[in-house]
Amino acid sequence: MLCMALCTILTGFAQKDTTGKRTPDTIKIGGMVIIREEGANYDTTIKKNKTFRISSRGDQPSNISTNWWIFDIGFSNYVDNTNYPEAISSGLLAPGINEESFEAKAGKSRNINIWVLMQRLNIIQHVVNLKYGIGVELNNYHFEDKRLRFNTNPNHIDTSYTGLDKNKLAADYITVPIMINFNFAPDKRKNFGFSFGVSAGYLYSARQKIKYDGEVDKTKSDFGMLKWKLSYVGEISLGPVKLYGSYAFKSMFDNELDLTPYNVGLRFSAW
């Protein structure tokens, strides 16, 4: 009994922590001992003189993450600052055309964007990021006045159409957005934050599409539209709900027609 007591005391002194650190948590299961040290990001398992390390650290976000095939759906419209008397006197507009003629149908003028990819580059601890991508913007403007007709060579707009079922102007761009992104939940799968920046779009297709008595006709031209569109862009991420918006620097036309486009809608994206 005396020997056993001495051995117990000596063993206690031998295991005493002289560094002031806390004794690691120890779990014994049969012949296996699991030791978890404070501050360690792994578990150490000792079994029959063998050591096993079991990682318990969660996956860290990548410094560069890529999101493929993002889809936007929303509404297209514009702010009309046209000086109509001046536009009529220049010959661009036929007499009688006014602001009401160019009023866009809010429910039918739509915007669809398809982003091939978006990338997010970590700047500060995955909270502040640089976000950029490339894709196409598809804008359709349906006019309240279905009589509007865009003529080419030279560019001239009159109200010579009659009895149309549909009349719209389409403008499609290849666009590259660049934004500063703030993600307030970098360790969560659902992001919460916002982004803002600018985008540059190149007009690769424009056309006026009309529908009359079941027949569809398209007139392809730029109709005096600018080839490049620079816009302010932004988005808000509220977990699974994501909203986007854009507002151009200036009119999309390179003539007296002063229509500054903007888009708002829902974004379907992983982040």
pLDDT, tens only, 13-67:
445 454 555 555 666 665 566 666 555 554 555 555 555 555 444 556 789 999 9
Backbone angles phi and psi of 128, in degrees to 5: -105, 125
Residue with tokens 């991508």: 133
- pLDDT, mean of residues 208-237: 95
Q: What is the pLDDT of residue 230?
A: 98
Indicate the pLDDT class of residue 186, thresholds 50, 70 and 90: confident
Of the two residues 96 and 27, the one the predictor is more confident about is: 96
Q: What one-letter code names the amino acid at 117?
A: L
What mean pLDDT is reported for the chain?
A: 86
Q: What is the pLDDT of residue 56?
A: 46
3-state helix, strand, coil in the chain (%, to 5): 10, 55, 35
Indicate the pLDDT class of residue 12, thresholds 50, 70 and 90: low
Does the structure show a pLDDT above 70 at 73? yes
Does the structure show a pLDDT above 80 at 214? yes
Hey, where are the domains in the chain?
24-58, 64-268
Q: Report yes or no on whether pTM surpasses 0.85.
A: no
- pLDDT, mean of residues 113-141: 97
Residue 134, C-beta contacts closer than 8 angstroms, at least 6 positions apart: 115, 116, 117, 174, 175, 176
Does the structure show a pLDDT above 80 at 83? yes
Indicate the pLDDT class of residue 89, thresholds 50, 70 and 90: very high
Does the structure show a pLDDT above 80 at 225? yes
- pLDDT, mean of residues 258-267: 98
Q: What is the pLDDT of residue 271?
A: 82
SS (H, E, C) 153-218: CCCEEECCCCCCCEEEEEEEEEEEEEEEEEECCCCCCCCEEEEEEEEEEEEEEEEEEEEECCEEEE
Burial of 194 (0-12, 13-18, 19+ CB in 10 A): middle
% the chain with pLDDT above 70: 78
